[in-house]
Amino acid sequence: EPEVTQTPSHQVTQMGQEVILRCVPISNHLYFYWYRQILGQKVEFLVSFYNNEISEKSEIFDDQFSVERPDGSNFTLKIRSTKLEDSAMYFCASSPLQAGENYEQYFGPGTRLTVT
């Protein structure tokens, strides 16, 4: 069964450093999302992406964040200058063009980002 993959599974970085989190969405999906989950808290929407551009973003997604689809398979989230409060699990998700009856989003296993 196709699945969303993410790398790395765990990233440790120092405050102020740039990080790039990588995702490979399901191949025939056209909508992509990034969510984050601070430990013990709810999943929060960051940004959605369609047709090579951002379609929605939340207030969390400030100028320190950017997304890119550099090729036909990868979808990346960049944090330019990490802060301690960026420590969280970051989930990539994708959904097909025709969302179908259930509007299901398929989540990757996540990247745990630890900022020290």
Partner 1 sequence: GQSLEQPSEVTAVEGAIVQINCTYQTSGFYGLSWYQQHDGGAPTFLSYNALDGLEETGRFSSFLSRSDSYGYLLLQELQMKDSASYFCAVRDRSISSGNTPLVFGKGTRLSVIA
Q: Which of 33, 65, 75, 90 binds partner 1 (CB under 8 A)?
A: 33
Q: Kindly state the smallest distance separating residue 5's Cβ from partner 1, in Å.
A: 11
Q: Is 22 in the site for partner 1 (CB under 8 A)?
A: no
Q: Is 25 in the site for partner 1 (CB under 8 A)?
A: no
Q: Is 87 in the site for partner 1 (CB under 8 A)?
A: no
Contact yes or no for 79/68 (Cβ under 8 A): no
> Which residues on neighbouring strands pair with residue 24, listed in sequence order?
5
Q: Cβ closer to partner 1: 81 or 114?
A: 114
**Token pair 């090729």 in the structure block, residue:** 71
Provide the mask over 40-69, with x wherever binding to partner 1 is found by CB under 8 A and - wherever it is not.
-xxxxx--x-x----xx-x-----------
Q: Is 100 left (phi over 0), alpha (psi -120 to 50) or beta?
A: left
Q: Is 98 in the site for partner 1 (CB under 8 A)?
A: no
